[in-house]
Structure formats: C-alpha cells, structure tokens
Amino acid sequence: MYRLLSALKRGFKEKIGWKRLGIALSLIIIALAVTHLVRTLRGVDSALVLTALHDIAPHRIALAALCVVGAFCTLTFYDFFALRTIGRNHVPYRIAAMSSFTSYTIGHNIGATVFTGGAIRFRIYSDYGLTAIDVAKICFLSGLTFWLGNLFVLGIGLTLEPWAASAMDMLPDEVNRLIGIGCFAAIAAYLVWLKTGDKRRELGQNGWKVVLPSARLTLLQILIGVVDLGFCALAMYLLMPVQPHIDFISLAVVFILATLLGFASHAPGSIGVFDAAMLVALPEFAKEQLLATLVVFRILYFLIPFCISISIMGTRELWLSVIQPWQERRRLSEACTAAAQAGAVRQPAQGRK
C-alpha cells in the first residue's frame, strides 16, 4: 500500500504537479461560473436593471462608499502588520499603506494576485532595502491575515445561519454547521500550536524562513481580517434590495463564499465568478435588482480603487523616473555653476595680491 501511494505521488508530481492542477481548477471554476452567468442573464430585462439602479437610495450608496473606504483603510494594516512581524520596522506606515492598497487593487483587478501583487510590492519595498525573500514573507503573512479573518467570520456565519450557504454548496444545514464549527476548531488548534514555543513558530528552511506571530498577535491579525471583511460585507448589505429581507450574517456568509470562489478562480476582478456565485446563492431576489446591486458594488469596490491605484503608481513612476532625476541634474548643474563662479572670483583676488 505504501509503495502504491509513493508511486502515485511521484506520478502526480512528474505528470501533473500542483501548479497545473491549480490552473485546471481555476479554469473549471471560471468556465462553470461564466456558463451559469450567461444562462442567468438571458432572461434579464436591461430596462428593469436600470430601474433597479435608480431605486437604490443615494444615502445607501454613500454609506456603502464609506464602508469601502473603511475596508481599504483596514487593508493597509495587512502589510504594516507583516512588516513589523518580519522586523522591517524602518518602513513607515504610509509606504506600507500604499503598497498594500495598490498591490491588492491592481493585482485583484488584473488577476494572478500572487504574482502581480508581489511585483508591485517589490517595486515599492526595494527602495527601502527589502529583498525578494522579504516581499515573499510579506505576501505570505498578508495572505494569512486574509484567510484567518475569512475562517473566523465564516465560522460564525455557518454556525448561526448554516442555511445561507446551502444554495451555493448544496450541502445540508447540519453539514454546513459542522463546517462552521470546524473553522473555529482550526483557528483554536492554530492558536494552541503557536503557544507551544518559539521554535515551533518558525516556517521554512534554507534561505527562506518566517517566524509566525505569537498567539496574542495572531488575535490582532484575526481582528484586522475580520474588520476588513466586515466593512466589505456591510457595503454589499447596504446596497441590497430592501425586499425580500435578508439578515447581515446570512449575507456575510454568501459574500465570503463568493469572494473565496473569485479568489480561487484568479479571474481578473473575480469577474463572472463572484457575480454568478451571488446570483446562485440568493435566488429569492429578482435578478435585475441583484445585478444592479452588483454593478454599484463593483464600481465602488473594484473600479474606483483600481483607477486610484493606477494613478498613484503612475504618479510615483513619473516622479522616480523623470522628475526626481531632472531635479538632481538641476541641483548638480547649479552646484557646478556656483563652484565655477566662486573659483572665478578667487582667481582675480589672488592676482591682486
């Protein structure tokens, strides 16, 4: 039996590999989501969608926008927490905030967040002496913050409102509740593991090692993820149609599952996947109204932050590549001119002596 398992493991690594499996799963998720979305949108009346957009109260859009701002403000602490964890205390908060905001929004909108987000982080942090290994650690710890927050909120939601996920995962309420309890159990086991000692908290080998936060700091890490997700889910909740009624916890469960599917697909902006998941999980709402909600949410959470991030990175690159070198050349030229003038003044003075 052991030889058979070893042979299967070797065959899997040689012929398939985790990378190819991940790509295949992403493509399957995208294909299924797009297929369902196309079928769903066939019977949608665009005029009703426009009417539903008009029916969303302006004050609810404004409150949702404030929640999105709160979510991205919380997001800035992902990198700041990671930097302090790996001991790079010389990087100021404003740089961590810029890196976290731009890497997430650009990476998530373009797709392949791990690579695009990592490249943007390295471009920013390399100016402060951080290496590619440091950036990899930051990406790992930021991702850990995201997943811990997801597990905690999902655990609460599935334990209290297990039926909310049934339309999406097609599982009985009892199974969903067990999954929710399992999320809490996983977090508790992780915290206990962290308590066992400093040596056990070190991951990696050779040139890549990262020391995980202590159990106490992990609670702060979970809080950062929970507040971020809470703001995002609240923004969606504020944009939802008033009727039929849905409670916040149930919507949060649906929102998190749809978000996780979007991340798993690696589709740019989770386009198609996130939207299809929301439509599947909330069949009680009219499609036109739910589409109007998704359109506004995408504008607030995806489009506007993406444009801001592109502007920030474009301005930064313009400053570093054009304006700053020009200013340095100008200062150098002025210094040379001043030195030449000073030398010319000193020579006649010496001649008179």
Task: Please give the mean pLDDT across all residues of the chain.
Answer: 81
Q: What is the pLDDT of residues 123-173, one digit of tens each?
A: 889 889 998 889 989 999 999 999 999 999 999 999 988 888 888 888 888
Nearest 5 degrees, angle CA 331-CA 334-CA 339? 125
Predicted local confidence at residue 199, as pLDDT:
61
Residue of 305, 317, 325 whose CA lies nearest to 97: 305
Q: Is-contact 252 233, C-beta < 8 A?
A: yes
Task: Give the residue-averaged pLDDT of 106-112.
Answer: 77
Cα–Cα dist 333/330, whole Å: 5
Write a three-state SS string for 19-52.
HHHHHHHHHHHHHHHHHHHHHHHHCCCHHHHHHH
Cα–Cα dist 170/154, whole Å: 16
Helices (H) and strands (E) counted in the chain, each on its own, are 15, 2
Nearest 5 degrees, angle CA 23-CA 25-CA 26? 65
Quick check: 284 pLDDT over 80? yes
Q: Which two tokens stand for residue 164?
A: 């909310």
Q: Return the percentage of the chain with pLDDT > 90, whole number.
A: 32
Quick check: 105 pLDDT over 60? yes
Nearest 5 degrees, angle CA 80-CA 85-CA 89? 65
Q: Which residues contact 287 (CB under 8 A, 6 or more apart)?
A: 40, 41, 43, 44, 279
